[in-house]
């Protein structure tokens, strides 16, 4: 699909992928690299040379959870500052071919009779992200289980719904008890051939969502289908009232909890040319991008670009040694002609950016205030509400780097507010 050919349309109608994409498993990587966000090497509780098991908590005591997704020997402990300006602890592990599993992850064979507390504890311990606010006791008014992918050129969730429909109903019943949600919604792409068979009307409301970006973003689902704000934790504690869980994570929870296994495998969609077929691979979390590309016989052309997590709000990947994480949904290989070049040209006040912004922000003003470091004005105009969907960049005829400018302003405003 040639996304660039859609430029100029207002409002943009960028479709999600609608066709089936079978999943092919990749072998284990010889070395897995694990990233721990907002942590430093001092938070790691293992040393170079230590043997580790799959599912083992690598954090030092009291520092939280940083789970190994492989069995092997620690080769490297390091730090890096990510493209999101956040510090990461990095642990490299030389892998063994056969997993030996950490025994602290216990199986729960009867999910219907286990207590919600027991299930929640094991969901978190098994490595599923996104439950911080629930653990902190936040009220979940609406639970949304989403079969939409977040980005175009991604084919993860509809495929998993098609392959594992039987576990969806079990997972919904489990999460409804765990979260205490008053309302449960299953969001399905309007053009999906697969419906959530087996889900009764009294278990969840099934909503067909128009399969157009950004309708699959959790913030948009929470606003339109949950009637509220996405549940998350921030400096003030927990905010929001709607928990969004992907079908991939829901199905993964059911199987991991039944078997007493950690969440270590991730489906990732690869796309290497406009109009080309998508490929789905199942990788071990920690596998480098280079190994995925090699196995698919895909090469990054000179002058091309790797983008992780989609063309709209994904991020450029400057090293193909970057590992896949629990939230990596896609790898996009762009040839030089497709790479979006930003210009430092002046805003022509066309208003297109503000017209498409789902958060109704005055994007042209925010871009200029950020450009000239006037961050108090950015805060006044609500830059923190930007969900970084990238639609403003997509329509800007001046090709201004609006997403970068707003993301930078968000970070500065967040840091300044935290320092007060
Ligand atoms: S990236 Fe932010 S400012 Fe731009 S359209 Fe999306 S929400 Fe609005
Ligand atoms: S930033 Fe771009 S889209 Fe927005 S008003 Fe200026 S030129 Fe138009």
Q: Around Cβ 129, how many Cβ atoms within 10 Å?
A: 12
**Substitution site in 222, 358, 387 for ligand 1 pocket (most atoms within 8 Å of beta carbon):** 387
Q: Are strands 23-25 and 72-81 parallel, antiparallel or unpaired?
A: unpaired
Q: What are phi and psi of 236, to 5 degrees?
A: -95, 5
Ligand 1 atom with minimal separation from the 214 CA? 6
Q: What is the per-residue pLDDT across 57-102, written as a single tens digit (0 to 9) for each?
A: 999 999 999 999 999 999 999 999 877 778 999 999 999 999 999 9
Bond into 415 cis (ω within 30): no
Q: What is residue 18's predicted lDDT score, i.e. its pLDDT?
A: 83
Distances (CA, A) of 207 to 20, 78, 148, 174, 224: 20, 45, 11, 20, 11
CA distance 407 to 216: 20
CA distance 130 to 242: 12
Q: What is residue 196's predicted lDDT score, i.e. its pLDDT?
A: 64
Q: What is residue 3's predicted lDDT score, i.e. its pLDDT?
A: 45
Which residue's CA is the nearest one to ligand 2's atom 1?
364
Q: Are 363 and 73 in contact (CB under 8 A)?
A: no
Q: What is the per-residue pLDDT across 98-134, written as a single tens digit (0 to 9) for each?
A: 999 999 999 998 999 999 999 999 999 999 999 999 9
Which residue's CA is the nearest one to ligand 1's atom 4?
392
Sheet holding 242-246, edge to edge: 205-209, 183-189, 142-146, 242-246
Reduced to 3 states (helix: H, G, I; strand: E, B; else coil), residue 243 is strand
On the question of a common fold for 28-95 and 264-338, the answer reads no
Which residue's CA is the nearest one to ligand 1's atom 6?
389
Q: What is residue 139's predicted lDDT score, i.e. its pLDDT?
A: 93
Q: Roughly how many angstroms between the first and final C-alpha of the chain, as a whole number? A: 47
Q: What is residue 205's predicted lDDT score, i.e. its pLDDT?
A: 92
CA of 383 to the centre of ligand 1 (A): 9
| Residues comprising the chain, all counted | 420
Compute the radius of gyration of the chain from its Cα atoms: 21
Q: Who lines ligand 1 at CB under 6 A?
A: 356-359, 361, 363, 386-392, 402-403, 406
Q: Are 229 and 141 in contact (CB under 8 A)?
A: no
Ligand 1 atom with minimal separation from the 390 CA? 1
Would you say residue 4 has pLDDT above 70?
no
**Substitution site in 213, 406, 409, 411 for ligand 1 pocket (most atoms within 8 Å of beta carbon):** 406
CA of 389 to the centre of ligand 1 (A): 5
Q: Are strands 305-308 and 237-239 parallel, antiparallel or unpaired?
A: unpaired
Closest ligand to residue 12's CA? 1
Q: What is the per-residue pLDDT across 156-198, written as a single tens digit (0 to 9) for each?
A: 998 898 888 888 999 999 999 999 999 999 999 998 766 666 6
Q: What is residue 198's predicted lDDT score, i.e. its pLDDT?
A: 67
Return the CATH number of the domain spanning residue range 116-259: 3.40.50.11540
Lowest mean per-residue pLDDT among 18-27, 88-97, 356-365: 18-27
Q: Who lines ligand 2 at CB under 6 A?
A: 347-353, 363-364, 367, 395-398, 400, 402
CATH of 264-338, picked from 3.40.50.620, 3.90.280.10, 3.10.20.30, 3.40.50.10140, is 3.10.20.30
Q: What is residue 5's predicted lDDT score, i.e. its pLDDT?
A: 39
Q: What is the per-residue pLDDT across 284-330, written as a single tens digit (0 to 9) for each?
A: 999 999 999 999 888 888 888 899 999 898 888 888 889 999 999 99
Alpha-carbon dihedral sign for residues 71, 263, 248, 313? negative
**Substitution site in 389, 393, 408 for ligand 1 pocket (most atoms within 8 Å of beta carbon):** 389
DSSP state of 109: S
Which residue's CA is the nearest one to ligand 1's atom 5?
357
CA distance 261 to 101: 7
- Dihedral of CA atoms 36, 294, 213, 336 in degrees, nearest 10, equals 110
Q: What is residue 193's predicted lDDT score, i.e. its pLDDT?
A: 60
Alpha helices in 236-362 (DSSP H): 247-259, 289-295, 352-356
> If you average pLDDT over residues 384-403, what whole number do you get?
94
CA distance 348 to 364: 9
The CATH architecture annotation of domain 28-95 reads Beta Barrel (2.40)
Q: Are 210 and 169 in contact (CB under 8 A)?
A: no
What average pLDDT does the structure give for the chain? Answer: 90
Q: What is residue 197's predicted lDDT score, i.e. its pLDDT?
A: 67
Would you say residue 26 has pLDDT above 70?
yes
> If you average pLDDT over residues 248-269, what whole number do you get?
96
Would you say residue 344 has pLDDT above 90?
no
Enclosing H/E stretch for 416: helix 402-419
CA distance 211 to 148: 7
**Substitution site in 364, 402, 406 for ligand 2 pocket (most atoms within 8 Å of beta carbon):** 364
Ligand 2 atom with minimal separation from the 367 CA? 1
Domains of the chain, by residue range, sit at 28-95, 116-259, 264-338, 352-419
Closest ligand to residue 368's CA? 2
Lowest mean per-residue pLDDT among 201-205, 381-385, 386-390: 201-205
């Amino acid at each position: 699909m040639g996304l660039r050919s859609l430029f100029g349309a207002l409002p943009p109608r960028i479709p999600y992928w609608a066709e089936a994409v079978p999943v092919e498993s990749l072998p284990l990587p010889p070395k897995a690299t694990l990233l721990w966000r907002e942590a430093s090497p001092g938070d790691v509780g293992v040393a170079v040379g230590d043997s580790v098991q799959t599912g083992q908590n690598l954090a030092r005591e009291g520092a939280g959870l940083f789970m190994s997704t492989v069995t092997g020997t620690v080769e490297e402990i390091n730090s890096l500052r990510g493209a999101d300006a956040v510090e990461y602890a990095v642990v490299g592990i030389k892998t063994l071919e056969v997993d030996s599993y950490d025994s602290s992850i216990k199986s729960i064979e009867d999910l219907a009779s286990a207590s919600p507390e027991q299930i929640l504890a094991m969901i978190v311990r098994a490595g599923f992200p996104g439950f911080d606010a629930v653990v902190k006791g936040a009220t979940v008014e609406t639970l949304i289980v989403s079969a939409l992918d977040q980005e175009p050129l991604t084919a993860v969730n509809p495929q998993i719904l098609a392959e594992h429909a039987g576990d969806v109903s079990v997972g919904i019943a489990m999460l409804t008890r765990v979260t205490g949600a008053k309302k449960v919604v299953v969001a399905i792409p309007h053009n999906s051939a697969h419906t959530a068979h087996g889900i009764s009307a009294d278990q969840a409301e099934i909503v067909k969502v128009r399969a157009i970006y950004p309708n699959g973003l959790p913030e948009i689902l929470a606003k339109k289908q949950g009637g509220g704000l996405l549940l998350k934790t921030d400096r003030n504690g927990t905010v929001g009232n709607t928990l969004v869980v992907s079908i991939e994570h829901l199905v993964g929870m059911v199987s991991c909890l039944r078997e007493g296994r950690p969440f270590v495998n991730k489906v990732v969609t690869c796309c290497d040319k406009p109009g080309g077929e998508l490929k789905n691979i199942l990788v071990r979390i920690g596998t480098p991008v280079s190994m995925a590309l090699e196995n698919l016989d895909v090469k990054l052309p000179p002058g091309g670009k790797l983008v992780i997590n989609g063309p709209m709000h994904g991020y450029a990947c400057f090293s193909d040694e970057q590992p896949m994480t629990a939230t990596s949904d896609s790898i996009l290989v762009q040839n030089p002609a497709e790479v979006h070049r930003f210009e430092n040209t002046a805003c022509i006040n066309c208003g297109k950016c503000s017209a498409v912004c789902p958060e109704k922000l005055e994007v042209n003003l925010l871009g200029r205030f950020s450009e000239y470091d006037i961050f108090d004005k950015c805060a006044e105009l609500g830059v923190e509400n930007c969900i970084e969907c990238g639609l403003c960049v997509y329509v800007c005829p001046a090709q201004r780097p609006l997403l970068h400018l707003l993301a930078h302003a968000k970070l500065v405003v967040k840091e300044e507010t935290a320092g007060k």
